[in-house]
Amino acid sequence: MSAPQVRARGQAGSDSPAAHTADWSLRAILADLFPAPADEPAPRGVLPRWGLVLLQVALVAVGALVMLARIGGRPAWEAVYAEDPGIYLPWALGHPWHLLESYAGYLQLVPRLIGQVAALVPIRDASVPFAVGGALVAAGCALFTYHASAGQVSSRWLRAVLGLSVLLLPVAQLEIADTGLNAIWYLLAALFWAALWRPRSRSGAVVAAVVAFAAAASTSLALLFVPFFVARAITVPRRVREHAATIGWAAGSVLQLAVVLSSHQSRFLPHNPYHAVLFYLHDVLLPALGWHLSWHLRDAIGLTAGSVLVGGLIAIALLAGLALKDRRCTVFVVTAVGTGLVLAGFTSVLAWGGAALPITVGTEHGARYSTVPILLLIAALVVVADTCARRWWPRPRAVVAVTVLAAVLAVGWVTDFRYPVARVTGSDWVLTADQWLSYCQHKPAGTITVTFPNYWGGGTLHNSFSCSSLRG
């Protein structure tokens, strides 16, 4: 690997230590939080615009296939999970294209859109759009992360590592991989980068706006990103392209707030605040570098010791990055880790059931809440490695920093690439579909009612649809 590959063109000379250590004013700090990617000269023989578009589409398709391959045992497209068959599919069958409906007190636009697509195919194949839709969202967010991190990570190779960290997240299979309902967690991770990105092209600005809108309209947690967009409005030049993500996020947030306020259902059911500490230690830090690695550590030295060991190693790496006294690196590391702490604390105190929940190698209830904090920790590590490369490449300590990061992440990516999980070991979706079709064959004018536990309000939810809405 050569220096130009590790260090992007146009940035090598602009990142001297003095450039990022002299001024620690609020204006300088915010400027480093929203850096503009350096203009890079186009290489000879570059693909035409349509070729680049096709390449991006192909990469997302390949990424989706990788995501689908990660579920061991029964294929992901033969099973459905939780709210996908219990809420989103029956609602779409009974109320086609009514996408702005509240569930659990907030709007989930993208999961409902995937559910609507599932309602349009033959009912025996309805599981496929949920799995493929979730995989496409994950792959799209991975590619978006690669592009949107250009201001923070100068190395194309390390930006590729950052994108792969989304695609190969070790804990993904437990709850969020290849589902419609949990695609929101990939969108939330992408929203972090959309909030920081300053795209150089109109197409990039449009994509940033779409990602920000989709995230804000799909999870109320996107409202927690308001400080980013306020800071962006203060810092970034007032041009439409520069604030496309803000416009998308604001539009999605208005829609989200309208649904939240009209739902009359509160998600604020606080638990013991100590849950946040336990959750971050055991469910974020411990599996951050590998899910199966975390179980080996549990067996070898215990849950708490394993959490402290992994957390300590991550802390040492991040503190070493802060010791570089590079302001941009410091600002990003503090922002990424702090955002992860806020998200983990907010969700674990208000939604996580606590440490008493059963946990196995194939099951972790609440794993979805750990995904974005883990991805932000990895992002901080990548930025530290990139800072070393910018300052010292090709000196040995820069090579060591990049090599160690790649090796550590590869352990989790390889050992956790594919494994079976409990959520896809139940009955095949086709058995449920056949029951519905059999009932409707005998009662063509009949109505089917699907019940689902109301976890946030108590009791049971009922969604009904007519047999005429089923496609055989």
CA gap 347, 25 in Å, rounded: 32
Confidence class for position 5, pLDDT limits 50, 70, 90: very low
Confidence class for position 266, pLDDT limits 50, 70, 90: low
CA gap 205, 189 in Å, rounded: 17
Q: Write out pLDDT tens, residues 425-468.
A: 766 899 999 999 999 999 999 999 999 988 877 788 999 999 99
Which of 84-93, 260-269, 281-290 has the lowest average pLDDT? 260-269
Confidence class for position 274, pLDDT limits 50, 70, 90: confident
Q: Within 13 Å of residue 467, how many CA atoms lie on the same side as its CB?
A: 14
Is the predicted pLDDT of residue 9 greater than 50, yes or no?
no
Confidence class for position 408, pLDDT limits 50, 70, 90: very high
Is the predicted pLDDT of residue 16 greater than 70, yes or no?
no
Residue 157 CB partners (closer than 8 Å, separation 6+): 1, 5, 6
Confidence class for position 263, pLDDT limits 50, 70, 90: confident
Q: Write out pLDDT tens, residues 154-203.
A: 999 999 999 999 999 999 999 999 999 999 999 999 999 999 999 988 99
Is the predicted pLDDT of residue 267 greater than 70, yes or no?
no
Note the pLDDT of residue 396: 84
Note the pLDDT of residue 22: 60
Taken in order 202, 192, 352, 303, the sign of the CA dihedral is positive
Percent of the residues in the chain that have a pLDDT greater than 70, as a whole number: 91
Confidence class for position 13, pLDDT limits 50, 70, 90: very low
Domain ranges of the chain: 49-424
The phi and psi torsions of 165 (rounded to 5 degrees) equal: -65, -30
Average pLDDT of the chain to the nearest whole number: 89
Note the pLDDT of residue 395: 81
Q: Write out pLDDT tens, residues 25-71.
A: 777 888 889 998 765 545 555 668 888 889 999 999 999 999 999 99
Q: Write out pLDDT tens, residues 346-373.
A: 888 777 777 777 888 988 888 999 999 9
Confidence class for position 2, pLDDT limits 50, 70, 90: very low
Is the predicted pLDDT of residue 15 greater than 60, yes or no?
no
Note the pLDDT of residue 282: 93
Note the pLDDT of residue 366: 87
CB 382 within 8 A of CB 6: no
- List the one residue out of 151, 194, 163, 200 whose CA is nearest residue 11: 151
Would you state the structure tokens that stand for residue 426, as one six-digit string? Answer: 């139940």
Q: Which residue has the higher pLDDT, 42 or 105?
A: 105
